[in-house]
Structure 1
Amino acid sequence: MLDVLRNSWALLLGMLLLMVGNGLQGSLLGVRGAEAGFDSITMSVVMSGYFAGFLVASRMVPGMIRRVGHVRVFAALGSFISAALILFPAFKDPIAWTMGRVVLGFCFCGVYVTAESWLNNATTNETRGQTLSAYMIVQMVGIIASQALLVVPDVSGFLLFVIPSVLVSISFAPILLSISPTPAFDSTKPMTLRQLYDVSPLGMVGMFLMGGVFAAQFGMAAVFGTQAGLSLGQISIFVASFYVGAVILQYPLGWLSDRMDRRSLIMMVAATGAAAAVVAILTGGMFWALVGAAFVIGGCSNPLYSLLIAYTTDFLEPDDMASASAGLLFINGLGAIAGPLIIGYVMQVVGPSGFFMLIAALMSALALYALYRMTQRPSIPVEDTGSYAPINPGATPVAMEVAQEYAIEVAEGEEGSDSVH
């Protein structure tokens, strides 16, 4: 791990600052939207704009990088992020905010793709797994740290929009000043949705459902907190709890996934997340019950993302893993766009509890579908499954392919070890 930090500290520091800026703007808009009088449906449209921009960028940015290069794309998109963050408080209009979120989603995806390409280029076969883990931890720590900034005074002014803009601008310095020669960039054509469904119905359906759950966490948690009457300090703790749970439970669940039937684990984890959401509803909005529920839901939903990818790749040849991952990323993006829209409507109809009601419904649907799929196809022996690689929801195609390369290398290493013995 020390070698990873020594070789990639600038990239990891830059990504940390980027995630602080990105995490803060999502929560801040949820709070400021309530102050501006925007209802749940309006805020759901605003929040879904980020995921729409992210999905479009995942298809367009690779072509941009091939045409003009990593450095120009990185610098141009970073400039747009800083400008968009500053403009939010100047235009208290839902259409302007939605367009701004689309721009942010597009630009952040492009910046992540570029940075992850450099990060992948800096790794070796021996350090790829550690680098992937360090990258995931940095992302989560950045989002958690960003929530503490919500309690900075003058939440109704410009300051909290200036802070993420400055952090994003600063984040480019360590990356651009320390970058080695730019890597070659190849994009992978995804499988068709039909092909992907034939390979792994559970993987495809599960990724769509988890897209909705992740979008709820990242896009609507602060909106829920505002409508539930939480203070700014309580909202920051509540939102951060999702990501603290993700960091703490990612590796224990990953360890289990390499030692038991993954469909059973997916079913149990999804059912646990659904139960936590139900508890949050039944406790009537007690703050620490909400925090506990958020911790469990985040600790279940984020590992489920990696679990579903690992389960799907168990049925693939190594040459097909990258294209399947791109398809999974696309279907997850569709779920992420739909998630805030549905949650916003439900919250408008039944009140703030609709936030947890939809999370409970989505995770229950995944648990039940996993149980159904267990009756349709025999399980793969544990010794024949691939290795679990931690991936955060919202991963770009590059991060997905890095994870698949790591899984392939581990599998090949295990095969070589078995042949020696």
Structure 2
Amino acid sequence: MSTAHFFTDKAFANNRSLIAAICCAAVCGIVFGLSMPLISLRLEEMTGSGLMVGLNGAAAALSTLVIAPLVPRLMALLAPRRLLVLSLVGAAGLFTLLPVFPVVLMWFLLRFLIGCFMTVIFVISESWINQIVSPDRRALMLGVYGTALSGGFGIGGLLFSALHGAGDTAFYLGAFIFLAGTLPILFLEGPQATAPDAESTSLPSLIKTAMIAPSAILAGLAFGATETLLYSMLPVYGKNIGLEHTMIGLMVLAVALGAIVFQLPIGWVADRTSRRLTLLWIAVIATFASVLAGFAGNNTLLLLPILFVQSGVVSGLYTVGLSLLGERFTGGAIATANATFIFAYGVGSLVGPPTAGLAMDAVGPWGLLAVLAGITGAYVIVVSLRTVFGGAKS
């Protein structure tokens, strides 16, 4: 098959759209991995305040809560492909303003607005994949999407390391990467994401979605909390148990690698068994991993493999949860369900860190592990009850 044939043949239309959607994940992952340390360190230099750095990160999480419920309505007003392109261009433009206006309040506003655009990109691209893939490989392809996102995050971190000390170059590179993400959307022609009808964009519809598919929606909340804790609080945990800086870096690397390696096999298993039961086993393993990590202490030969497995299985909460939504909803309703899922993710990412922080202040390093185990343990109970009583699908 010639390259030209792939770009023109209607038989490959779905594949072209799938590639475009996955490219959105890679682009956002790269900029996310580049911008998190970049913005945090610049803010710390500007203010000398760790609190300001944390609050700025909260602004990004808040943007998810504000904009996610509105995305289905935006999709009904504007063609999803056009909305994706506008969001990527908008995020690029705002990213270039960060070095131009090194003012704390301006950075809060810019971080919030960039987060809004990125939330639009996530909701549309994930809904797009759920709508166009065949049911028998839905979890696997969402696993590819998740792998692209996690891999992009790692690439962004490497770019940050390479450009550290290169002035404002990293900001302009981030903007360029956003703009590059528009190319697959513009030139890989295929079916668009289907927008929901007007009735499905209302707040009651979002609440109804959560009630119909609690196992899937709560997977988003559990993942938002655990992912944020593993990336933001784990370095503090490592320091508190006496690990050196190099070992703390290896902990973060183990977490990142787990998220990359596990998503495809978990998606493959979920497609061939039961997606809801896969979510249940993910949560069970993650709960035990939190406890085992505590008993491993500062023995990195034990701790690093445990963190690798824990982050790897936890990553499945996101992609298998999304695939379960695709199983329960069809057409435009998937966009509404996906917006509800992303909103739940935002709640988890916003509430998780302060909860773990309070727990660590109260009982020391074990506080983080207790919160991690509590989140996934509670999810085990919810899914188990849904399985035993009523035989719900999600």
Residue identity matched to 2:264: Y
Stretch deviating more after TM superposition (54-63 or 268-277): 54-63
CA-based RMSD of the aligned residues comes to: 4.6
TM-score normalized with structure 1 length: 0.68
For residues 81-230 of structure 1, what are the structure 2 equivalents within 5 Å?
81-84=95-98, 86=99, 90=102, 98-112=108-122, 134-149=144-159, 151-152=161-162, 159=167, 162-163=169-170, 165-173=172-180, 175-176=182-183, 179-180=186-187, 186-187=195-196, 189=201, 192=205, 194-221=207-234
Q: Name the structure 1 match of 2:266.
A: 253
Match of 2:61 in 1: 51
Q: Which segments of 5 or more consecutive residues in structure 1 lack a partner in the other structure?
A: 386-421
- From 94, 101, 121, give the equivalent of 1:80: 94
CA contact (8 A) 2:69 2:206 kept: no
Shift of 1:165: 4.0
Distance in 2 (CA, whole Å) between partners of 1:271 and 1:231 is: 30
SS in 2 for 1:74: helix
Shift of residue 222 of structure 1? 5.2
- Aligned residue number for residue 412 of structure 1: none
Distance across 2 between alignment mates of 1:185 and 1:197: 20
Deviations 1:60-113 (A, max 9, x none): 5666685695444432321102323x379x45x6x6665454233223224556
Q: In structure 2, what is the Cα distance between the partners aligned to 1:223 and 1:97? A: 25
- Cα offset, 1:197, TM superposition: 4.6
**Alpha carbons 2:270, 2:320 under 8 Å: kept:** yes
Supply the AA of the counterpart residue of 2:305.
G
Q: Between the two proteins, what is the percent identity of the paired residues?
A: 21
Quick one: which of 302, 309, 314 aligns to 1:301? 314
1:215-241 deviation digits (Å, cap 9, x = unpaired): 324554556567767666555543343
Q: 1:266 and 2:266 equivalent?
A: no
**Aligned residue number for residue 406 of structure 1:** none
Contact 1:27 1:219 in 2 (8 A): no
**Does structure 2 retain, via aligned residues, the 8 Å contact 1:237–1:291?**
yes
| Structure-1 residue corresponding to 2:9 | none
Query: CA contact under 8 A between 2:95 and 2:174: conserved in structure 1?
Result: no
**Cα gap change, 1:258/1:22 in structure 2, threshold over 3 Å: closer, same or farther?**
closer
Structure 2, unpaired ranges of 5+: 7-11
Look up the SS of the partner of 1:202 in the other structure.
helix
| Structure 2 match to 1:405 | none
Alignment of 1:226-241 (within 5 A): 234-241=247-254
Instruction: Give per-residue Cα distances to partners, 1:298-329, cap 9 Å, x unaligned.
Output: 21112122333444555557675443333233
Partner secondary structure for residue 153 of structure 2: helix
Describe the shift of the 1:11–1:327 C-alpha distance in structure 2 as closer, same or farther (beyond 3 A): closer
- May I ask how many residue pairs the two structures share in their alignment? 372
| Structure-2 change in CA distance of 1:170 and 1:305 (3 Å) | closer
Select the residue among 347, 352, 355 that pairs with 1:334.
Answer: 347
Counterpart amino acid of 1:330?
F
Shift of the 375–72 alpha-carbon distance from structure 1 to 2, 3 Å rule, reads closer
- Contact 2:210–2:340 (Cα < 8 Å) also in 1: no
Would you say the 8 A contact 1:64–1:73 is kept in 2? no
Query: Cα deviation per residue 1:179-221 (whole Å; 9 max; x = unaligned)?
Result: 2389687355266455235423433444333321233245545
| 2:387 alignment partner in structure 1 | 374
- The range that moved more, 241-250 or 294-303, is 241-250
**Cα distance change of structure 1 residues 174 and 46 upon mapping to structure 2, 3 Å threshold:** closer
2: CA distance, partners of 1:63 / 1:317: 17
Q: 1:349 to 1:213 in 2, by over 3 A?
A: same
